[in-house]
Amino acid sequence: MAGVHVRKSPFDKKLCDLIFFDKGGRDLPAAKTKSIERNFFGEEYRRASYEKVGTLNFPERALESYTDSFIKCIDTEAIRKARLRVAIDYSYGAAAAIFPSIIGGLGVDVISLNAFLDPSKFTRTAEEFFAAAERLSEVVVSLGYDIGFMLDGGAERIHVADEKGNFLEHQRLLTLITYLYLEVYPETKKIAVPITASMEVDDICRERNVQVVRTGDSHSELMRAVTADPEIGFVGGTKGGFIFPKFLFAVDGMFSAAKIMELIAKSKTRIGELAARMPERYFLVKRNVACPKDLKGKVMRKIMEDTAEHYRVLIDGVKIIYDNETSLLLLPDRERDIFHINAESRTKSRAARLVSEYEKKLNEWIAE
């Protein structure tokens, strides 16, 4: 038994994605998906005989089952009492057919944007995204709403505008939601975040004696962490995806939006107010270096040799921890011909200096 999800790519209008799941519903790891690709394009797979062709099963009453589980995992009474006012941009995607009926029962004053299915608009260009973000921010501010959510076309990830109309960068959003979650659920023992997450998350958890589990920078790695450790109560990604294991072991934009409403209601704190009280503790500087796929292995070996004297974390790529205030992540992109260089420090100048230093080194190693 296994599963497959076919969708239009949220990143490229000309592509469709095939996402394979194992028998437990988790994303297949990268090694297995690459093996499937090699077998398919090489036509090295076995042909099933007529009597052994498999079947496709479509679960009955899936929407009703989803909605029941959704409501059971949300404190609906707290949201009703808060009388929140929320703007939601559905991005012409799947959530427009599901979320309105759910949120309608939460006593929330909602204004909806782009709340109808349109496959031709499922994938947004950068210009279209920023224009939509600006419209959502304008709606939130002009109507005095508490928060604005933009769901991506597949209803997996969210973008958030606070009550002041500020569109929150994903790393900042992760920090704020982590803080709110631990305030509302102080019994939490562990959370999980990818290796790319800011050290601010570690600081927040250290202050509350909560263990941080670091994972690889992919949805499948986040899912694997949740299913492997039942003590993990919350998983936050750096691309707008959140996992709440009591509901589902995968990212879900609709549930994430509802859960954030619950956190706001129970903490009596709006996102913009919290952001003002919590100035950013670190500066994050990012840069990408072009690197052909066939040279990534060589570059990784050079990085390992160059950083041998430093403390390193090798969960995904190479993360060098210089001290409690500075770190550097060198991460080869899984799909594109680039290397990511992410430096984080209490001072912007040190982060920028590290990025420039390793940008120069990577270019030299690639050119050798």
Res 43: pLDDT: 75
* Strand bridging mode 326-332 / 338-345: antiparallel
Alpha carbons 128 and 239: distance in angstroms, whole number: 18
Percent of the chain clearing pLDDT 90 (strictly above)? 76
Alpha carbons 260 and 272: distance in angstroms, whole number: 13
CATH fold for the domain made of 69-277: Alpha-D-Glucose-1,6-Bisphosphate; Chain A, domain 3 (3.40.120)
Condensed to tens digits (0 to 9), the pLDDT of residues 112-148 reads: 999 998 888 888 888 999 999 999 999 999 999 999 9
The contacts of residue 225 (CB under 8 Å, 6+ apart) are 192, 213, 215, 232, 235
Alpha carbons 90 and 163: distance in angstroms, whole number: 18
Query: Residue ranges of the domains in the chain?
Result: 3-50, 69-277, 283-367
The residue behind tokens 């500020």 is 166
- Mean pLDDT over 197-225 rounds to 95
Condensed to tens digits (0 to 9), the pLDDT of residues 63-75 reads: 899 999 999 999 9
What is the band of 11 on the pLDDT scale with cuts at 50, 70, 90?
Answer: confident
Q: How far is CA 234 from the centre of its chain?
A: 12
Q: Of 117-121, 267-271, 359-363, which gets the smallest average pLDDT?
A: 117-121
Q: pLDDT at residue 189 above 90?
A: yes
Res 326: pLDDT: 96
Q: pLDDT at residue 347 above 80?
A: yes
Q: pLDDT at residue 293 above 90?
A: yes
pTM (global) more than 0.75: yes
Res 192: pLDDT: 98
Task: Name which CATH class applies to 283-367.
Answer: alpha beta
Angle at CA of residue 174, ends 315 and 194, nearest 5°: 10
What is the band of 322 on the pLDDT scale with cuts at 50, 70, 90?
Answer: very high
